[in-house]
Amino acid sequence: MGGLDGRTALVTGAGRGIGRAEALLLAAEGAHVTVNDVDLGEARAVVDEITAAGGSGRADDHDISTWDGAGAAIAGVVDDGGNLDVLVNNAGILRDAMSFSMTEDQWTDVIRVHLAGHAACAHFAGAHWRERAKAGEEVTGRIVNTASESGLYGLVGQVNYAAAKAGIASMTVVLARELAKYGVTVNAIAPRARTRMTETVLGALLPEEGAFDEWDPANIAPVVAWLASDAAADVTGQVFVVNGDKVHRMSGWHRTGRIDNGGRAFTPDELAARADELFGDESRGLPPMGFGE
Ligand SMILES: NC(=O)c1ccc[n+]([C@@H]2O[C@H](COP(=O)([O-])OP(=O)(O)OC[C@H]3O[C@@H](n4cnc5c(N)ncnc54)[C@H](O)[C@@H]3O)[C@@H](O)[C@H]2O)c1
């Protein structure tokens, strides 16, 4: 018996990397998992691993970055299993470049796959759950989105990716508010793991012999399995950074300074005169990077 027995899950971009590990664990926890990836060969190989381990899965190769592709992927899950319970939005690509060198394709491709891909899958999954809830069914829907620390802190060379991932963190809160009344929770993770995506930027990231492998993508999957389960029914609208043996609960924009002009708009000169009050002892320059253990 697993925590996800009887549930049906869709993991996008699950042919390799973090999504693959998530699909394997969700299946091990008892879910029937659709392994989506534009690379059908990789998706099928993951389904073979699931089946060999005694689990249940199917492969799907729709491109989730369009409304058509996302709609077809989710319709396929529903046709196959009757319902969708868990959507893990994970599929992604990198097209890094400095903003002043970035091409329109580099910008558009990343925004399309990450931002539009998340929105499109959430659109069709949300419509499915709303329809079931309106028909009187008790729904326990789950969306787990994939943000990135790049989007939270603003990594140089990733203006496309960081904008998409910050949008995904923000979208998570909107979706959580919109879908709460239909029995759906929506959360996001910002993972760190050794995958094809990071190998190009960070190198091999292999552990010392015998040491805990903090970059193993399998470290990320338990957080997703927990968020997908009944045990996390009251967790929604949250963003978690997940690295190795650590999970960090993040919180978003908040006021760090305030000035009030008593019923009259500020003039530029008044703002300049009161900037000390607005910033206090805090830096007026680049915000700090939040990476760390
Ligand atoms: N690896 C990290 O440290 C890290 C850090 C922060 C965020 N992330 C995020 O985690 C997610 C997974 O990344 P990964 O590191 O496992 O990368 P990966 O390249 O190993 O896997 C991504 C998978 O998504 C698939 N894919 C790409 N576009 C698709 C589309 N349109 N439709 C369906 N499938 C598509 C690819 O074929 C690939 O198999 C991404 O959203 C990524 O941005 C990863």
Q: Whose CA is nearest to atom 6 of ligand 1?
A: 148
Under 8 Å between Cβ of 92 and 70: no
Residues 6+ apart with CB under 8 A from 19: 11, 12, 13, 37, 88, 90, 91
With a 6 Å cutoff on the Cβ, whether 18 touches ligand 1 is: yes
Give the integer Cα–Cα distance in Å for 164 and 88: 17
Q: What superfamily would CATH give domain 8-250? A: NAD(P)-binding Rossmann-like Domain (3.40.50.720)
Q: How many angstroms does the Cα of residue 92 sit away from the middle of ligand 1?
A: 4
With a 6 Å cutoff on the Cβ, whether 64 touches ligand 1 is: yes
**What is the structure's pLDDT at 232?**
98
Under 8 Å between Cβ of 42 and 24: no
**What is the structure's pLDDT at 1?**
58
Averaged in consecutive runs of 10 residues, what is the pLDDT profile of the chain (293 residues)? Answer: 92 98 98 98 98 98 98 97 95 98 98 98 98 96 98 97 98 98 98 90 81 96 98 98 97 93 98 97 89 74
**Residues across the chain:** 293
For the stretch 175-179, contacts whose Cβ atoms lie closer than 8 Å and that sit 24 or more positions apart, written own/partner, are 175/122, 175/126, 175/143, 175/145, 176/236, 176/237, 177/237, 178/126, 179/126, 179/129, 179/130, 179/141, 179/143
Q: How many angstroms does the Cα of residue 283 sit away from the middle of ligand 1?
A: 35
Q: Whose CA is nearest to atom 20 of ligand 1?
A: 17
- Please indicate whether residue 148 is annotated as part of the active site: yes
Task: Tally the C-alpha atoms within 13 A of residue 114's C-alpha that lie toward its C-beta.
Answer: 28
Choose which residue among 197, 220, 250, 291 to substitute to test ligand 1 binding: the one with the highest number of ligand atoms within 8 A of its C-beta.
197
Q: Whose CA is nearest to atom 31 of ligand 1?
A: 63
Q: For residue 201, give both structure tokens.
A: 């930027």
CA-closest candidate to residue 119, choices 141, 127, 58: 127
* Phi/psi-derived region of residue 144, left when phi > 0, alpha when psi is between -120 and 50, beta in every other case: beta
**What is the structure's pLDDT at 293?**
67
CB-neighbour burial class of residue 219 (10 A; exposed 0-12, middle 13-18, buried 19+): buried
**What is the structure's pLDDT at 120?**
98
With a 6 Å cutoff on the Cβ, whether 12 touches ligand 1 is: yes
Exactly one of 165, 170, 182, 251 is catalytic; which is it? 165
Give the integer Cα–Cα distance in Å for 127 and 269: 51
Ligand 1 atom nearest 198 alpha carbon: 1
- Please indicate whether residue 150 is annotated as part of the active site: no
